[in-house]
Chains A and B, each alone.
Chain A
Amino acid sequence: GENVEQHPSTLSVQEGDSAVIKCTYSDSASNYFPWYKQELGKRPQLIIDIRSNVGEKKDQRIAVTLNKTAKHFSLHITETQPEDSAVYFCAALWGGGADGLTFGKGTHLIIQP
């Protein structure tokens, strides 16, 4: 099955700086890579996703890059703000929606004021 590795487990950055979280996946057939933000006790919220036919996607301060050859994808958050503090999970999926997502272990992002 798919295996997703996520690094770092904890990331602390100064407010206004950029944050980068990286994930690698094992199944070259995976074709969908979402990123979720989860605040304590709440459901994961999809913040951005990318499909295997695209190398980069951007939405305001958030961007995701995908390197299919190396089987890794990254989340980039620029101009970080206190409300960005949360746990972020990457995930990978193969197929058209019939399978569950395989999640990374999560990154606790801390924005220092």
Chain B
Amino acid sequence: GAVVSQHPSWVICKSGTSVKIECRSLDFQATTMFWYRQFPKQSLMLMATSNEGSKATYEQGVEKDKFLINHASLTLSTLTVTSAHPEDSSFYICSASAHEGRVGYTFGSGTRLTVV
């Protein structure tokens, strides 16, 4: 089955620093990758959609200059949280979709970000 790897699984950083999270599709080519954020005891909220080779589409209210997304290849998308602040602490999770006449979403294992 489709496997999506996300790294790191957890990270603690100081306020003002940047953190990069990687999302890789291991056994399929992900035309589209999605980034979600989940606060404790809440649902997953879509942050942005990234298509390989093009700019990401951000959901309303998500700052594109703060959450930089790069989808340079069909197997890798990265999310960089720039100038992180404590309110950015959350569980970030990616998912990948392959356009092959089917709809399928495989989630990465998630990244727990804590900004101190």
Contact = CB atoms under 8 A, between A and B. Distances in A.
Contacts, number: 57
Interface string B68-101: 0000000000000000000000010101011101
Nearest to A108: B41
Interface residues of B, number: 28
A94 B109 CA distance: 25
Given A34-B105, A42-B110, A44-B107, A97 B99 contact: yes
A44 B103 contact: no
B67 interface: no
- Interface of A: prevailing SS: loop
Place the interface of chain A in its size category.
Answer: 20 to 34
Contacts of A106: 42-43
Contact of B105 (A96, A101, A102, A104): A101
Interface in A93-113: 93, 96-106
B25 interface: no
A105 B42 contact: yes
Interface of A: 32, 34, 41-46, 89, 93, 96-106
